[in-house]
Amino acid sequence: MVIPVIAIAALEYPDYSPLLVGLAIGGYGLTQAVLQIPMGILSDRWGRKPVIYLGLSMFVLGSMVAAFAESMTILTLGRVLQGAGAIAGAVMALASDVTRESQRTTIMAIIGISIGFSFYLALLIGPMIAATFGMQGIFMITVVCALICFPLVKFGVPSNTISAPIGDALPQKELLKPLLSHPHLWRLNTLVLILHLLITSFFVQMPVLLQDVGEPLAAHYQVYGIVLLVSILLLVALIRMATALTMGNMFNIALLLMAVGFVALTQIPNYWLIVFAGISFFAGFNFLEAKMPAMVSSIAPAGQKGSAMGIYASFQFFGAFLGGLLAGIMNTYFDMKTSFIACLFMIFLGSMLARGLANVEKVRRITLEMPEECLGSQIVDDVLTALMEMDGVKDVSADIEARTFYLKVDAKRFDRKSAMQVLNTYS
């Protein structure tokens, strides 16, 4: 709710500056990026719910500081404190804890859809709330929403857990370094950084452009409503196109749409040009935002999805911080058109990175429970060898502590019954 209004609403603060606006938008992403992996790892030691409570408490504290801030500097501090509530990893791990393996993919998809829907809803209601109650109203609503989460976690989520292998849910410190240099994952991590740098830069400028063409803040939701509706329809078309084209080509099409949006904004603005730019930008952004997490999950080595997703989320939030910082610097020392040209350069870099993703394979992840008889290291090695020799198996790893085998397979060729027979041979 803050992102689409702060560039206008912040004008009332005595120490207003474009740089502080950028830092206020991006500051949240900085602490999210720094703390995302540590908070996930900490939830494995302290438990999921205590870490979630801690994160919610930091978010409430930051929201209160921002709500009663009388300067942009204090508002920025509040945003940084909000970001310290970095509980995405702990929430995903808790979801894994309380669901059976057969349900886990569906549950994660539902959570992902909820996150996406909340973003769109926030774009629509943020300007209306800010126009009526100001920035303080937005931050007080976030306080109320965060406080509601405490009883939801306490009473709405069971404390007892189903079998919960964590290797594919949480980051593991020893896996972070090799995953950072993975030939495909580093490209996706850098791409998501660029993607969120661009959307943050976009929203630093968009409210100002709308105000320049005579649209008051209270009416901005109408523009965002048109943009989101049409861009979602285009997203459906892009998803259908993806079945016939390589992923590298689809990435370039999405990036081209985003570039068209920024090129349009470099022209003399008018209402419908801004709407067109928003539709084009969001069509490309929505496709990449929906596709890239699934690709990270698919590409990550067996048993290392949690670590790969933790790194990905950190790059995502750090991109939001860099986007706010870049937009603030550009608006301080250059004009808005130069800022858009800088964004076009970032899109060009993204298209270079996308070239290396043309031949990424589509795989399915399978989790198999390890029989007690397999707990010896030599037997585990024998089982791993046998599983790896099966038709359709791309990668396999074992976590003896979690008593779990993790497999990446070609769903069309892999036979789960045959894999179970392999395990039964050693039990």
**HSE, side-chain direction, 13 A CA sphere, residue 293:** 18
Q: Which of 4-13, 140-149, 402-411 has the lowest mean pLDDT?
A: 402-411
Per-residue pLDDT for 366 more than 90? Answer: no
pLDDT the model gives residue 47:
82
Sign for the CA dihedral angle at 346, 349, 351, 354 comes to: negative
User: What is the mean predicted confidence (pLDDT) over 283-308?
Assistant: 81
158, 269, 344, 346 from 265: Cα distances, Å:
49, 7, 11, 16
Q: Tell me, what DSSP letter sits at residue 373?
A: G
**Contact of 4 with 127, CB cutoff 8 Å:** yes
| CB-based burial, 37-60: b 16+ in 10 Å, e otherwise | bbbbbbbbeeebbebbbbbbebbb
Say how far apart CA 401 and CA 424 lie, in whole Å: 20
- In tens, the pLDDT along 207-250 reads 989 988 988 988 899 999 999 999 989 988 998 888 787 777 88
**For 243, phi and psi rounded to 5 degrees?**
-70, -20
For a pLDDT cut of 70, what percent of the chain falls above it?
91
Say how far apart CA 73 and CA 103 lie, in whole Å: 45
pLDDT the model gives residue 164:
47
Banded model confidence at residue 291, pLDDT cuts 50, 70, 90: confident
**Contact of 318 with 193, CB cutoff 8 Å:** yes
Q: Which domains does the chain possess?
A: 1-161 (1.20.1250.20), 174-362 (1.20.1250.20), 364-425 (3.30.70.100)
Query: In the predicted model, what is the mean pLDDT of the chain?
Result: 85
pLDDT the model gives residue 373:
65
The torsion region of residue 116 among left (phi > 0), alpha (psi -120 to 50) and beta comes to alpha
Dihedral angle of Cα 403, 409, 412, 415, to the nearest 10 degrees: -30
Banded model confidence at residue 73, pLDDT cuts 50, 70, 90: very high
User: What is the mean predicted confidence (pLDDT) over 253-275?
Assistant: 92
pLDDT the model gives residue 313:
87
pLDDT the model gives residue 69:
93
Q: Strand, helix or coil at 404?
A: strand
pLDDT the model gives residue 299:
79
Q: Where are the alpha helices (H) located in 157-218, listed in sequence order? A: 173-180, 185-212
Q: Where are the beta strands (DSSP E) in 84-142?
A: none
pLDDT the model gives residue 163:
46
pLDDT the model gives residue 58:
96
115, 128, 149, 155 from 141: Cα distances, Å:
17, 13, 13, 22
pLDDT the model gives residue 144:
96
Banded model confidence at residue 77, pLDDT cuts 50, 70, 90: very high
User: What is the mean predicted confidence (pLDDT) over 310-338?
Assistant: 90
Regarding predicted confidence, which is higher, 374 or 196? 196
pLDDT the model gives residue 169:
59
pLDDT the model gives residue 343:
94
Dihedral angle of Cα 344, 289, 293, 195, to the nearest 10 degrees: 20
Say how far apart CA 40 and CA 52 lie, in whole Å: 10
User: What is the mean predicted confidence (pLDDT) over 117-129?
Assistant: 90
pLDDT the model gives residue 168:
57
Say how far apart CA 285 and CA 410 lie, in whole Å: 29
- Number of helices (H), then strands (E), belonging to the chain: the values are 15, 3
pLDDT the model gives residue 269:
83
Instruction: Mention every residue, 6+ apart, whose C-beta is less than 8 A from residue 264.
Output: 273, 274, 276, 277, 280
